Amino acid sequence: MTTLSKLDAPEAPSPSTVPAPAAPARKVKSRPDWRGWAFVGPFMAVFVLVFIAPVAYAIYLSLFREQLMGGNAFVGLENFAEVFADSQFWESFLRVLLFLVVQVPIMLVLALAAALAIDSARLHVSGFFRIVIFLPYAVPAVVAVLMWGFIYGGNFGLAGNINDLLGFEAVTPFAREWILVSIGNIVTWEFVGYNMLIFYAALRTIPNELYEAAELDGAGPFRVITGIKIPALRGAIVISTIFSIIGSFQLFNEPNILKPLAPNIITTFFTPNMYAYNLSFSGQQYNYSATVAIVMGLITAVIAYVVQLRGSRKEER
């Protein structure tokens, strides 16, 4: 019996320890402790003020319609119904979608190539290239677009000079067919460096052992890229893609600043953001503008979420 009890002894504490921590847990549940709120309170106050309140106000605005004549009235979801039937909105949406599908891959591939080149250790003065490629991101977007506007100028700009040289209108950045390409070029120029830096930072975190192992296995530089670097970059690529999608859907600065140079080609509803801006500030249609912003925000969130799901699923594999 004693031996048995001795044998039992080690087992004895385990059943007794299991309920022990459970008991205090139940006590906490029955008497909620609000002291924690004192710590998160300041954060929650600012969070509600700067994140929740504007969104709530936009939703509130979207349910009303204020007229120049006749005041304000509750209209329920009428504004949303109107957005879904608004050809100008969908035209602007499809335009940024096209922009997204073409420009984002080009930009990310360029950024990836630049990051891999700088990381390859085969480049002389790689620090110099890193800075120079990143520099456009440090130029304020407004200044950058104005600068490109001068370059694109068909009469006295670089485009005009090239045309004079060739003797015909070879380069017309502000023509209807080329305007998206022109804007895409500016956006790519601005953000390649930023994305390159994200990729480059991710590449620096790859442990050296992996490279050593690859070398022992006889892997060439391209095998290292496809076998080690790209898989390690997957998370960074997903992040960059999501940022770029959001950026494309929010396209505003570039077309808005170029508008005076191409007044008839860049309309007031060229991108969803420009449309919302002009509805609000030229047309005083604050309510409808808020609705457009909400719909666009939801679409962006859904697409970004889908990209993230796909991206992380691959990561698990």
Which one of 5, 14, 16, 155 is in contact with another protein (CB under 8 A)? Answer: 155
One character per residue 105-124, x = contact with another protein (rule: CB under 8 A): --------------------
In 3D space, the residue among 310, 279, 307 whose CA is nearest the CA of residue 295 turns out to be 279
Q: Is 150 in the site for another protein (CB under 8 A)?
A: yes
**To which H or E segment does residue 49 belong?**
none
Q: Is 161 in the site for another protein (CB under 8 A)?
A: no
Which one of 120, 126, 278, 308 is in contact with another protein (CB under 8 A)? Answer: 278
C-alpha span between 315 and 317 (Å, rounded)? 5
Q: Which is nearer to another protein, 71 or 218 (CB)?
A: 71
Q: Is 281 in the site for another protein (CB under 8 A)?
A: yes
Q: Is 16 in the site for another protein (CB under 8 A)?
A: no
Q: Which is nearer to another protein, 160 or 311 (CB)?
A: 160
Stretch of residues binding another protein (CB under 8 A), selected from 67-75, 130-138, 185-193, 195-203: 67-75
Residue with structure tokens 């969908």? 90
Amino acid in the structure at residue 269: F
Pairing of strands 64-67, 71-74: antiparallel
In 3D space, the residue among 300, 99, 115, 144 whose CA is nearest the CA of residue 205 turns out to be 115
Q: Alpha-carbon dihedral of residues 129, 132, 138, 139, nearest 10 degrees?
A: -160
Which one of 29, 167, 260, 317 is in contact with another protein (CB under 8 A)? Answer: 260
Q: Is 263 in the site for another protein (CB under 8 A)?
A: yes
Q: Is 282 in the site for another protein (CB under 8 A)?
A: yes
Q: Is 154 in the site for another protein (CB under 8 A)?
A: yes
Which one of 253, 269, 272, 274 is in contact with another protein (CB under 8 A)? Answer: 269
Q: Is 69 in the site for another protein (CB under 8 A)?
A: yes
**247 touches 191 (CB < 8 A):** yes
C-alpha span between 108 and 315 (Å, rounded)? 19
Q: DSSP string of 55-67? A: HHHHHHHHTEEEE
Residue with structure tokens 């602007």? 92
Return residues touching another protein (CB under 8 A).
66-72, 150, 153-157, 176, 260-265, 267-269, 278, 281-286
